[in-house]
Amino acid sequence: MSGMLASVENLDEALLVLEAGVDIIDLKSPSNGALGALPVETVSRIVQAVGGRRPVSATIGDLPMEPQWVRQAVESMAGTGVDYVKIGLFPGGDWQQTVSGLSPLAVRGIRLVAVLFGDQNPGLGQIAELAKAGFSAAMLDTLDKQGGSLTHVCTQDFLRDFVAEVGAYGMVCGLAGSLRQADVTQLLNLRPDYLGFRGALCLRHDRTAGLDANAVRIIRRLVA
Q: What is the pLDDT of residues 116-173, one digit of tens each?
A: 999 999 999 999 999 999 999 999 999 999 899 999 999 999 999 999 999 999 999 9
How many Cα atoms within 13 Å fall on the side-chain side of residue 199?
19
pLDDT of residue 155: 97
86 is catalytic: yes
The predicted model gives 81-107 an average pLDDT of 97
Catalytic residue among 13, 23, 28, 130: 28
Domain CATH code at residue 124: 3.20.20.380
pLDDT of residue 204: 87
pLDDT of residue 196: 98
- Do residues 219 and 200 make contact, with C-beta atoms less than 8 angstroms apart? yes
- Do residues 161 and 196 make contact, with C-beta atoms less than 8 angstroms apart? no
The predicted model gives 74-93 an average pLDDT of 97
pLDDT of residue 161: 98
The predicted model gives 92-107 an average pLDDT of 96
- H helical segments located in the chain: 11-20, 40-50, 67-78, 95-100, 103-107, 125-133, 150-153, 156-168, 181-188, 213-223
- Give the predicted TM-score (pTM) of the model: 0.97
132 is catalytic: no
Q: Which domain holds residue 15?
A: 3-223
Output 49 or 204, whichever has higher pLDDT: 49
**Counted domains in the chain:** 1
The predicted model gives 47-64 an average pLDDT of 98
Q: What is the mean pLDDT of the chain?
A: 97
Question: Tens digits of per-residue pLDDT, 60-82?
Answer: 999 999 999 999 999 999 999 99
Catalytic residue among 29, 58, 77, 86: 86
Phi/psi at 169 (nearest 5 deg)? -95, 10
Instruction: Calculate the alpha carbon distances from 96 to 34, 60, 119, 132, 172 in Å.
Output: 21, 18, 19, 11, 20
